[in-house]
Amino acid sequence: MDASQVLQTVLSVIQAGAGNATAGSPPAPGSAANSNGSAPTQDAGHAAPVGAVQLLVTLLSMSAVRDWMKLLLIGAFLETCRRLITKSWESIQDYFWLTATFEMHEDPAGESPSPAEKLWSNWILHWAAQRKMFDAARHVEITSGDYIFDNMVDVFGNDEAKVAFYPSMDRKYRSWYKGRFMTIKREQKSPNSFTRAIQVLELRILSRNPHVLRELLMEARKGYTVASKNVINVYVTESSDRWKHVASQQKRPASSVILDPGVFELVLADARDFVNSKRWYASRGIPFRRGYLLYGAPGAGKTSMIHSLAGELDLNIYILSLTVMALDDNSLKSLIARLPEKCVLLIEDIDAAFHRGMKRNIVDPETQQAQRGGNENGPPNGPPGEKDKDKQDTFCNGVTLSGLLNALDGIAAQEGRILFATTNDYSALDPALLRPGRLDLHVEFQLASRHQARELFKRFFTPDEEDEKLGVAAAHPDSDEKQASSDSGYSSANSTPPAEMTTNASALGQATPRPSQLPGSVRSVYMGGMAHGGTAGLPRLSAKQAAALAERFADIVPPQAFSMATLQGYLMAYKVRPLDAIADAPGWVESKLREKATAGASQTPLEKETKNAEGAAAVA
Ligand SMILES: Nc1ncnc2c1ncn2[C@@H]1O[C@H](COP(=O)(O)OP(=O)(O)OP(=O)(O)O)[C@@H](O)[C@H]1O
């Protein structure tokens, strides 16, 4: 019997059933009861089961339907078996395997996972990479630059070309841990198109002992902590509600930030004390937050100091940019609430946002001048006038100043974080932002002092341990003694270098041509900035020689005239020619001061204000 015949039979049976049902339908109002006098509902009640049974019998009498039923039953049986086997296999696996999964959430746009979520999987990936688990795999992803692999695989045998293998998506990697078989798998799960995709790292160990998993996790955490000991991670505001890991940087040694004695130590001690005072803050009901404002001349070392402090305190840096598109008060609040408990939150050039009109109380220049009390660089001596107070809150993108203030110290603000804000223009900041509780300690950075110029020179030309190992510095074992004798005849007042130095200089000093030695067409470009001094050859100076030259350099450079960045730029051009650096310094200083004096005349009032110290030195 073919399908059309089956259909025909089914329809005729249904029709028969329907006919019976109609026969049993209640009579129209006013009409007589039906002939046998029984209740119509009773007939209808019989008709339906009779029709259904009849239909079933008819269907079963058809061979095709019987075949279908058989197939259905066999399919159901097989499916049940499959499920039973899967279930049993899972139970067996659960019995013999330890399984741990680590989730990393990602949204459809591929945003990176939040730092806390990322951490666990990083431990495991770092651990697996340490054991070279992916090295022999036939399918891997290559990654470079991520801090978790920074001391990892150096595939090309070249320190500068470090890359690492990373588990590919949906692949299983096998290894052994303490004699137990184990696997690692990274997969992407997206429950539906409305929820964020989840990246899962699955770790399985063939063992009945749950302590093995704990041991592995402890080991992974320890290894990760050691590997990241010399590294700090930098995050930026990627979108209006997410932080993105952008870099892993070597910690900057405190000695590399040259400030006047005591400044760095003071801030570091204060921040250390804060980090260790959680209980003190809690018991007194004071919000556990601290803010530092570093203000003053550009290129004076504000950012460098923050980087170094973060390294000393073992904290990661989160750089908040108030100009991120779509950032508003609410997203700013949630961004700050998402910060980890201990971290450095950095808002660079916070005044830049204010200049765009974010300042709540605008101070007119005259008031500003009066508040400064004649101190061009210093902070205003008092709050802005009452007349300013009722001025309207204004915006930087979608963020209002009150929104920023609330995010920094409102109820939802993260506790434990250290805020660093930098500005070149102290007077542009709203007093509400400067008050204790938001920015507690204000540190001024000035142009380079004599001490800083000297120390910077020393840092450039004193051989470090690595140089010593390479045998490039102080090549003569008796060079210190020779220099000791030359020191007496080479005081800061004596502009002629000792013969030994001159000899060294002639050997090393030709690496980079001086600007005056360049052809005219190139010179104009060269003169626009300072060329890198090249790396061929290193100065053959002993520590004492370097110190003596540093004194000389500090004598030549007028104090509070140049930023540290400017001095650094100058010395970069003489990387391997310390004697040339000294010899050329007077001319460079003179031309720079002249340049500044000319530029000062054509500066806008704001530029003038920012560079006033340099300008003042130039005029003097
Ligand atoms: N005090 C310092 N000690 C050592 N290096 C310094 C110092 N100040 C500046 N530098 C060098 O100058 C460059 C710029 O420094 P940095 O970015 O820290 O200055 P900044 O004060 O934050 O500048 P800006 O206000 O323009 O952001 C860096 O390469 C840094 O190494």
Residues 496-531: pLDDT tens digits? 444 334 334 333 333 344 444 444 433 333 334 444
The best mutation among 258, 260, 292, 303 to test binding of ligand 1, ranked by most ligand atoms within 8 Å of the C-beta, falls on 303
CB of residue 566 inside a 6 A radius of ligand 1: no
Task: Report the chain's C-alpha Rg in angstroms.
Answer: 39
| Å from CA of 417 to ligand 1 middle | 23
The best mutation among 257, 292, 303, 304 to test binding of ligand 1, ranked by most ligand atoms within 8 Å of the C-beta, falls on 304
Residue 398 is predicted with a pLDDT of 73
Residues 591-606: pLDDT tens digits? 999 888 887 666 555 4
CB of residue 449 inside a 6 A radius of ligand 1: no
Of 97, 125, 92, 122, nearest to 182 by C-alpha is: 97
pLDDT band at 387 (very low <50, low <70, confident <90, very high): very low
d(CA 581, CA 573): 8
Answer for the pair 243, 331: CB distance below 8 angstroms, yes or no.
no
Of 423, 413, 459, 513, nearest to 258 by C-alpha is: 459
Atom 12 in ligand 1: which residue has the minimum CA distance?
565
DSSP helix/strand/coil, 377: coil
pLDDT band at 118 (very low <50, low <70, confident <90, very high): low
Residue 481 is predicted with a pLDDT of 40
Atom 7 in ligand 1: which residue has the minimum CA distance?
301
Residue 82 is predicted with a pLDDT of 95
Domain spans, the chain: 96-229, 242-445, 450-619
d(CA 331, CA 412): 12
Residues 439-468: pLDDT tens digits? 899 999 999 999 999 999 998 888 776 666
Across the range 42-66, mean pLDDT stands at 71
- Residue-averaged pLDDT of the chain: 71
pLDDT band at 163 (very low <50, low <70, confident <90, very high): low
CA pseudo-torsion sign 423, 426, 427, 431: positive
Atom 26 in ligand 1: which residue has the minimum CA distance?
298
Q: Please report, to the nearest 10 degrees, the dihedral formed by the alpha carbons of residues 87, 88, 90, 94 taken in order.
A: 130
Residue 536 is predicted with a pLDDT of 46
pTM above 0.80, yes or no: no
Strand partners, 249: 232
Answer for the pair 429, 294: CB distance below 8 angstroms, yes or no.
no
Please, what CATH class does the domain formed by 242-445 belong to?
alpha beta
pLDDT greater at residue 530 or residue 334? 334
Residue 78 is predicted with a pLDDT of 95
| Atom of ligand 1 at shortest range from CA of 258 | 3
Say which range, 149-163, 318-332, 552-566, has the weakest mean pLDDT: 149-163
Query: Which letter, b or e, does each residue of 323-347 get, where b requires 16 or more Cβ atoms within 10 Å of its Cβ?
Result: ebeebebebbbebbeebbebbbbbb
pLDDT band at 201 (very low <50, low <70, confident <90, very high): confident
pLDDT band at 80 (very low <50, low <70, confident <90, very high): very high
d(CA 60, CA 53): 10
CB of residue 568 inside a 6 A radius of ligand 1: yes
Task: Say whether the ipTM exceeds 0.90.
Answer: yes
Say which range, 207-216, 281-290, 313-322, 538-547, has the weakest mean pLDDT: 538-547
Residues 362-378: pLDDT tens digits? 343 333 433 444 444 44
Residue 49 is predicted with a pLDDT of 62
Atom 9 in ligand 1: which residue has the minimum CA distance?
301
| Å from CA of 552 to ligand 1 middle | 23
Say which range, 135-139, 252-256, 496-500, has the weakest mean pLDDT: 496-500
